[in-house]
Amino acid sequence: MNLGISTYSFWHFEEKKLPLKEYLVKAYEHGFNGVEVLSNHIESRSEDYLKEIKRFAFKLGLDVYGLAIHNNFVKVDKDERMREVELVKDWIRLGSVLGVKIIRINSGRWMTVRSFDELMERRGIEPPPPGYSDEDAIEWVVECINECLEEAEKHGIILGLENHWGLTTRADNMLKIIKKISSDYFGVIMDTGNFIHDTYRELEAIAPYTVMVHAKTYFGGGVWYTLDLDYDRIFEIL
């Protein structure tokens, strides 16, 4: 098992966003051997910049193994969904320059609950707009991921669907997406802190498809909620 850290882990500890290189140095100082980069921390999309980040990380002895991006395939308008597909494809190409092996993608959500604070009060449950259902959105997400996989396979990059709210708030919906996609370059990124309804049953449901884990801790308490996670039990699930 390789142990890395996401630059997201430093997100709430800094009063201002630091240059990406400083997050890489922090990862090195904490003894990690790999880093997942949050797309928000990438300061330029130029190839020269991305190659410099890859070189800098290598000199520290760090493997930039992953990239976490933000996308939303749950959009009623097909043109808007296709723009999201192009966004993901663009990140795949940039990730290839950076040398990543996996990219975190999301299903997205309806956005009928605009405030994330309110979404958390509703325990992640969000109603579809009138005339639509989650089943419609599941089909859209599958279609979009398959489109993105054409590009991912060209670059040898795995797309990892994370249980990250929206359609993936519950494992049942997530499994409906997973079972409709057949590619060696598709898998699941398990976030141990994002199933708040029936945590261990739902983690167990997605475990067979998991290729990477985001392991959450809540020392000092969480922002919206706190889970007392039993990692002995989670390791048994994995």
Provide the whole-model pTM: 0.96
Question: In 156-223, which ranges are continuous DSSP H helix?
Answer: 171-178, 199-206
Q: Where along the chain do its domains lie?
A: 69-237
141: Cα separation from own chain's centroid: 15
Nearest to 5 by CA among 70, 92, 64, 91: 64
For 46, which DSSP code?
Answer: -
pLDDT at 220: 56
* CATH fold for the domain made of 69-237: TIM Barrel (3.20.20)
The pLDDT of residue 38 is above 80: yes
Report pLDDT digits (tens) over 153-211. 999 999 999 999 999 999 999 999 999 999 999 999 999 999 999 999 999 999 999 99
The pLDDT of residue 9 is above 80: yes
DSSP of 211-236: EEEE----TT--SS------HHHHHH
pLDDT at 130: 98
Give, in order, the Cα–Cα distances in Å from 164 to each of 54, 79, 170, 194: 27, 23, 9, 6
Q: 223 falls in which pLDDT band (50, 70, 90)?
A: confident
As a whole number of angstroms, the distance between CA 214 and CA 104 comes to 10
DSSP β-bridge partners for residue 37: 67
Report pLDDT digits (tens) over 136-149. 999 999 999 999 99
Give, in order, the Cα–Cα distances in Å from 185 to each of 86, 107, 219: 18, 16, 34
As a whole number of angstroms, the distance between CA 211 and CA 186 comes to 9
Give, in order, the Cα–Cα distances in Å from 65 to each of 37, 209, 227: 8, 19, 27
Query: Which of 20-34, 141-155, 222-236 comes out lowest in average pLDDT?
Result: 222-236
- Higher pLDDT: 55 or 13? It is 55
**Structure tokens, 118:** 């309110």
